[in-house]
Structure 1
C-alpha cells in the first residue's frame, strides 16, 4: 500500500490563490502521499485568452445511478489521470470517531474477493502506473496515473473496491496501528504540524474543522472494523462520488467503460451532510508551542473567511486577488517589505483558499531572519496588515495581480493531473463545473474597492488565532 504523509501546514490552508490549479492544496488539510503532483503550470496557452470564459473545457455526463463523470481531454501524450472523489471527509465523521475517514482510505487498499490485500497498488505499478489517495475534511479521493491503454483496467479495479471491499480483523487492526504510528511520526514529531493542529482546534472549537483529519490519538486507538464498514456502507456509493478522468481520452470513449464498471453499481441513500456552526466569537486567542526540534521559528495569524460555497457577500474572488498582491512571489507586498527591504524575515505570506464545503480560512505569517527577535518580526508583520487595512490596495496592484492570475489559469490546462484535482475538489465541495469555468471572468472583474472591502471584512475581525512556533530557548512575543 502506498505510504502517506500529511501536507505541510502551508499547503493546508495557505497558498497563493493566484494559481487556479492550486485550489486543491489551498483548501483543507490533506493526509496524502506523495505531494499532489502535476500542478506546475508550464507555458503553452495564450494569457490574452485567459479572461474569456473557460479554463479546462471539460465534457460531462451522469450515469443512471447518479454518479457524476467529468472528462478533460488532453491528447499531448497517451496518458490519463483517473480519479474517484467521494463527497465525504473527516468533517463528516461521527463525534468520537475522529480519523475514521482517513482510516478507511487506508483500508480501501485491503482487497476484495477479486484483488488480494495490497495487490491493488502492485498491479498498478506492474503496469507502469502510480496510484495513491488522500483524505481532506470535505472529500476523499483515489487516483491512478496510467497509460491510456490501462485505463479500463484501473476503472474495473476502482469500481470493484467501491462496491466489494472486504474487511477482516486480520487486516483492519494492524492497519490501525499503522495510522497511529503515522500520526506519531508525521504530527507528534513535527512541531510545525503540531502547532497547525492546535491553531485549527482553537479557531474551530465547535465545528469539525477543529478536529485533525488524521484523528485524535485516543479516538484513533479505539476505531473498529465495524465502524470502518459502517462508514464505507454509508458514504461509498456511486451517487456520492465523482469520476474525473483527464488525459488522452474523450467522453465518447469513456462513457461505455464508465457505464460498464461504475454504472452497474446500485445507488444507495446517502445522509445529508450536516455540520454544526461555530458560535459567535469576538475574542482573539494565542497558541504558543516551544520545542527543541524547532529550527525555523514562525508566527502566523488565522481568521475564518468565506469559501466559494458560503460567500454571501461575494468576497472569495477579491480575497484571492488580495493573496496574490500580498504574497504572490518576490515582488509581493509582504516579501518585498519584510524580506527584501527590512530584512526581518526569510519568508512572509498571506494565504487564502476558498475551496471548502463550509468556512475557509485566511492566514498571515512569517519566519524571522537569523538574529531577529520574534517580537520585532511580529510588530512589522502586523504593521503591514494595518497598512493594508488603512490604505488599501491600488487599482494598479489589482490589475497586475489579475494579469498574473489569468496567465496562470491559461497555463493550467497544460497540466495532466491539475485539472482533475481542481474540478474534483470543486464538485466535492459544492461548486459546479460552470463556476470553475467562470473563474477567469470572475477574477478579471475584481476591483480595488472589492479587494479592500473584503480585506477589511476579514482582517478587521478580532476572532483570530495567533500561533507562535518557537525553540525552547528565547523569549515570547
Structure 2
C-alpha cells in the first residue's frame, strides 16, 4: 500500500468544509431510489458463510467495479491502538503465499485495471476497476488475502514509517490538519469517533506485527464482509463466481463486532481557537452533535439532509445569501451534514470572513440565521427546491460506475438495509416543512456544539 491514500481519512471535521461538495454528494446518494424507479436496480444474495453480496448492473461498458467492504474501522480499534485499522489496510498489500509483496497492484495494473483502498471510522474497503473478463482474477486475489495474509517484521516496520510520513504530510504539516484533530477530539465526549482515523503519532509508532495480525484475524472474515460488484454483470452471472472464490472461505464463528460506547449527553457549549502564521485567512466553523441513522432520532436524517441544502447548499442557500450577498461580511459560507454512520451524526456550519470583516460579527450573523430557522421555520418553496436538488443529484450520480457500489457498501456497513437505500426518494418526498423545523430545533442545541476559529496570528 506504499504511496496510496486512504480516501476517507480526511483529516478530521475541521477540514471537512473544504470537501463539502464531495461529502454532500455522498450523503445525498447514500440512499438511492426504489428499484422500480430504475436508478440502481440492485440484486442481492447471501453466501452460506454469511457474506452479503450486492450487484448493481450497469451494461453501458464491459467494465466492473469489484469492492469488498469490511464492517470494521477506526471506531473498532482497541484503546491505545489508534490507527490499526488504517495500518492493516496498508499491510493488506504485503502479500500472501500466492502473491508476493507488492504484486497485488502490479497484477491489477498488468490486467488493465486500477485498485485502491480506504478506511473510515466505520469500515475498511478495497476495490478494483477492471474489464469484465478480469473479474474472476480480482475475486481470486481478494479472497486469497482475506484469509491468507502473510506479514514479516521488516515489511511491517517499513509500512509503519510510511504511515508516519503520511501523517506528517497530511496532518502535522498544516495548521488546518493539526487544528482539525483537536476539534474532532473536542467534539466527542467519549465516543471513539474522537480518534483520528490515521491514528495518533505516538500510538502509530508502537503498532506491531502482532497488533495487525490480531486485528486481521478478529475482523477479516466473509461473515464480516460485503461484496459489492457494479457494472456489466448480473447476480445470475456473479453468484457462481462468488461461491467459487468467497463461498469456500470459512466464517469466523467467534466474530463479535465491538459495541460502540454511548455518547453521553452534551451539557455545555465548547469553543476551541488557535492561530498560526501559515494561515492566510481566518475561518469559522461550528458543529452540532446530530441525529443519525443509528443514533438519536433516525427519522430526522432526511429532514436534516434537506436542512443542510436549505442552509448551505450553494449560492441560493440562506447562509450564502445572508452573509455573502446581502451583508457582505463573508467570502464564503455553507453547511454540511453527516448522518449515515453507526455513531452520532454531525451537522456543520462554516464561513470565511470577507476582507476587513470581524469574525465575531460573522458568528453573530450565523447565529441569527439559525434562530430564523428555529423561530420562523422554512418555506414550502425552500423545501421544494432542496428536494428537487437532492433527487436530481442522486440521479446524476448514476453516471459514475463506482457510485452505486459506494452507496450500498457505505450504507450496509452502517447497519442500513438495501430497502432503506431503495426507499429514500419516497421518504424524501414525504418530508414536510414541519419535519425540517422539528429536526432543526432538536439538533441546533448550543450545549451540543463546538465552535472552532482558526486565525492567522494571535489577536493583539
3-state SS of paired residue (2:448): coil
Cα deviation, 1:69-108, whole Å, max 9, x if unaligned, reads 0000001111111110000000001101010000000000
Do 2:17 and 2:336's aligned partners in 1 also have CA atoms closer than 8 Å? Answer: no
Count of matched residue positions in the alignment of Structure 1 and Structure 2: 453
Structure 2 residue 303 is matched with structure 1 residue 318: yes
Please name the residue that 2:422 is paired with: 437
Unaligned stretches of 5+ in structure 2? none
**Alpha-carbon deviation of 1:53?**
5.7
Structure 2 residue 227 is matched with structure 1 residue 226: no
**Alpha-carbon deviation of 1:276?**
1.1
Please name the residue that 2:115 is paired with: 131
CA distance in structure 2 between the partners assigned to 1:345 and 1:212 by the alignment: 30
CA distance in structure 2 between the partners assigned to 1:137 and 1:324 by the alignment: 24
341-350 or 130-139: which moved more? 341-350
Please name the residue that 2:197 is paired with: 213
CA distance in structure 1 between the partners assigned to 2:90 and 2:428 by the alignment: 38
Do 1:99 and 1:220's aligned partners in 2 also have CA atoms closer than 8 Å? Answer: yes
CA distance in structure 2 between the partners assigned to 1:427 and 1:266 by the alignment: 21
Do 2:311 and 2:334's aligned partners in 1 also have CA atoms closer than 8 Å? Answer: yes
Please name the residue that 1:31 is paired with: none
**Alpha-carbon deviation of 1:13?**
9.4
Equivalent of 2:83 in 91, 99, 104: 99
3-state SS of paired residue (1:76): coil
**Alpha-carbon deviation of 1:403?**
1.4
Do 1:84 and 1:141's aligned partners in 2 also have CA atoms closer than 8 Å? Answer: yes
Please name the residue that 2:141 is paired with: 157
CA distance in structure 1 between the partners assigned to 2:318 and 2:126 by the alignment: 38
CA distance in structure 2 between the partners assigned to 1:408 and 1:164 by the alignment: 41
* 1:219-368 aligned within 5 A: 219-268=203-252, 269-312=254-297, 314-368=299-353
258-267 or 402-411: which moved more? 402-411
**Alpha-carbon deviation of 1:52?**
7.1
* 1:402-441 aligned within 5 A: 402-441=387-426
138-147 or 186-195: which moved more? 186-195
Do 2:65 and 2:229's aligned partners in 1 also have CA atoms closer than 8 Å? Answer: yes
Higher helix share: 2
**How has the CA–CA distance of structure 1 residues 388 and 134 changed in structure 2, closer, same or farther, with 3 Å as cutoff?**
same
3-state SS of paired residue (1:462): helix
**Alpha-carbon deviation of 1:255?**
0.8
360-369 or 1-10: which moved more? 1-10
181-190 or 309-318: which moved more? 309-318
Do 2:34 and 2:421's aligned partners in 1 also have CA atoms closer than 8 Å? Answer: no
Cα deviation, 1:117-171, whole Å, max 9, x if unaligned, reads 1111111112221111111010000011111111111111111110100011010
Structure 2 residue 5 is matched with structure 1 residue 4: yes
Do 1:334 and 1:349's aligned partners in 2 also have CA atoms closer than 8 Å? Answer: yes
Please name the residue that 1:66 is paired with: 50
Equivalent of 1:472 in 432, 442, 457: 457
338-347 or 418-427: which moved more? 338-347
* 1:105-184 aligned within 5 A: 105-184=89-168
Structure 2 residue 170 is matched with structure 1 residue 186: yes
Cα RMSD over matched residues?
2.2
3-state SS of paired residue (2:274): strand
Cα deviation, 1:209-261, whole Å, max 9, x if unaligned, reads 11111111111110010010000000000000000001111111111111111
Please name the residue that 2:354 is paired with: 369
**Alpha-carbon deviation of 1:22?**
5.1
CA distance in structure 2 between the partners assigned to 1:240 and 1:69 by the alignment: 12
TM-score by length of 1: 0.90
414-423 or 66-75: which moved more? 414-423
Do 1:51 and 1:444's aligned partners in 2 also have CA atoms closer than 8 Å? Answer: no
**Alpha-carbon deviation of 1:195?**
2.0
Higher relative contact order (CA 8 A, sep 6+): 1
